[in-house]
């Protein structure tokens, strides 16, 4: 949970910490609304361990690129 908070608050984090986290974490990070950093989603979309995580991260990146209604 500390890593999720760190990313959400835009504090320093490493790619290794994100990609080495438990399977639960990347799924949660890719689908949560509290993370708005495209760097985290880009990393998960490219290097996520599962197809599910990579797809979820890609969808979140698309959502962030769309202007709000």
Q: Is the Cβ–Cβ distance between 7 and 29 less than 8 Å? A: yes
* pTM of this structure: 0.79
Measured between alpha carbons, how far is 22 from 31 in angstroms, rounded to an integer? 15
47 Cβ contact partners less than 8 Å away, ≥ 6 residues apart:
15, 19
pLDDT digits (tens, 9 = 90+) for 19-67: 888 888 888 888 888 887 788 889 999 998 889 989 998 998 888 877 7
CA 36 to chain centre: 8
Q: Is the Cβ–Cβ distance between 54 and 48 less than 8 Å? A: yes
Measured between alpha carbons, how far is 54 from 43 in angstroms, rounded to an integer? 9
Q: Is the pLDDT of residue 14 over 80?
A: yes
């Amino acid at each position: 949970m500390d890593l999720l908070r760190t990313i959400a608050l835009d504090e320093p984090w490493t790619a290794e910490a994100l990609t080495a986290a438990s399977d639960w974490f990347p799924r949660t990070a890719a689908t949560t609304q509290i993370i708005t950093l495209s760097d985290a989603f880009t990393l998960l979309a490219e290097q996520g361990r599962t197809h599910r995580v990579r797809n979820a991260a890609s969808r979140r990146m698309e959502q962030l690129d769309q202007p709000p209604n």
